[in-house]
Chain A
Amino acid sequence: MSGLTCAEAQTRLFDLVDGLLDESERALTLAHLAGCAECREEEGRLRALLAEAAALAAEVAPPTDLWPHIERRIRASGTGAGWLRHLAAAACVALALAGVLTARWPDGGPPADGGAPGTLQPAALQAADVEQVERDYERAASALLGRLRARRGQMPPETVAQVEQSLRTIDAALDQIRAALRQQPAEPALHLMLAATHRKKVEVLRRMVEVGA
């Protein structure tokens, strides 16, 4: 059996750390690593990067208490619910990206003012509450946005651009969820998504106000 070259071993590192190599490929790769300090170092750096990424989950997590529920709904809905799957993707990406963005700022806790309904529990939402929740969140977002705009000139343009991009993504997800709610007003997964997405928007704005303060 001939061994792998360094280049061959390194192209297999991603699959190795993800546990995706079949047994023979894995054995070949491990054999190379055992005899090559340089490739072992590569592997160590890769694993360190992934450990650092995984550690971010606690800080930037989308509302993981909601996602298992939403995923179950999507699976239970079967193939006829492509719209729901699509929405979940839009909302999930919006939340994940907003999470990445907000993770870059120190967490000083939410400001006492602003009137944001930060303690709302989306799981408790009823269909009749949706309009009120929307109004509460929009009011909070609008107040925070006003404060942010007043300080816009003091913030790095790159940061302003990233925040605006993030807000556009979140607003697009909100529009899609609202459209779906008009068709399926009693769908609990949509209520959860709506509240979680609103919450993330307010959180993004709130963190920005704190940073710009």
Chain B
Amino acid sequence: MDLEKAMAALPPGARAVFVLHDVHGYKHEEIGGMLGVATGTCKAQLHRARRLLREALGR
């Protein structure tokens, strides 16, 4: 499976944070402001996305 496909299969919240942080380089504070969530929530979603992606991609 390639990265784009794995990203498309992520839960929406985790996917949005991953795309904004790891693809587009926004900071947690900025993403928190844009999405209206706490910075800690944003970070937790990012970690969840990365874990799920690594599982899906087997790496």
Tell me whether B50 and A92 are in contact (CB under 8 A): no
| Known interface pairs A56-B23, A85-B33; 10 further A-B residue pairs with C-beta atoms within 8 A, sorted by A's residue number | A53-B22, A54-B23, A64-B24, A85-B34, A89-B34, A89-B35, A92-B20, A96-B24, A101-B8, A104-B4
Chain A, 93-138, CB within 8 A of any chain B CB: 93, 96-97, 99-101, 103-104
Tell me whether A56 and B16 are in contact (CB under 8 A): no
Give bound CA distance, A25 to B12, whole Å.
Answer: 32
Tell me whether A96 and B36 are in contact (CB under 8 A): no
Q: What class of interface size applies to chain A in its complex with B?
A: 20 to 34
Q: How far is the CB of A56 from chain B (nearest CB, A)?
A: 5
Give bound CA distance, A120 to B21, whole Å.
Answer: 28
Tell me the interface secondary structure of chain A in the complex. helix
**B14 CB–A CB distance under 8 Å:** no
Residue in A46, A48, A56, A88 whose CB lies within 8 Å of B4: A56
Contacts from B to A (Cβ < 8 Å): 3-5, 7-8, 15-16, 18-20, 22-25, 30, 33-36, 46-47, 50, 53-54, 57, 59
Q: Closest 3 A-B residue pairs measured CB to CB?
A: A89-B34, A53-B22, A96-B19
Residues of A within 8 A of B8 (CB): 100-101, 104, 162
Tell me whether A49 and B25 are in contact (CB under 8 A): no
Contacts from A to B (Cβ < 8 Å): 14, 45-46, 48-50, 52-54, 56-57, 60-62, 64, 71, 85-86, 88-89, 92-93, 96-97, 99-101, 103-104, 162
Q: Which residue of B lies closest to A105 (CB)?
A: B4
Q: Which residue of B lies closest to A44 (CB)?
A: B59
Q: Given the known inter-chain contacts A62-B24, A104-B4, A162-B8, please indicate yes or no for A49 contacting B34, CB distance below 8 A.
A: no
Residues of A within 8 A of B18 (CB): 53
Q: Given the known inter-chain contacts A14-B47, A50-B22, A52-B3, please indicate yes or no for A96 contacting B16, CB distance below 8 A.
A: yes
Residues of A within 8 A of B36 (CB): 85-86, 89
Tell me whether B25 and A54 are in contact (CB under 8 A): yes
Give bound CA distance, A61 to B19, whole Å.
Answer: 10
Q: Which residue of A lies closest to B35 (CB)?
A: A89
Q: Which residue of B lies closest to A64 (CB)?
A: B24
Give bound CA distance, A5 to B48, whole Å.
Answer: 22
Q: Which residue of B lies closest to A93 (CB)?
A: B16
Give bound CA distance, A45 to B57, whole Å.
Answer: 11
Give bound CA distance, A89 to B46, whole Å.
Answer: 17
Tell me whether B34 and A45 are in contact (CB under 8 A): no
Most buried by A among B7, B24, B47, B59: B24
Tell me whether A103 and B4 are in contact (CB under 8 A): yes
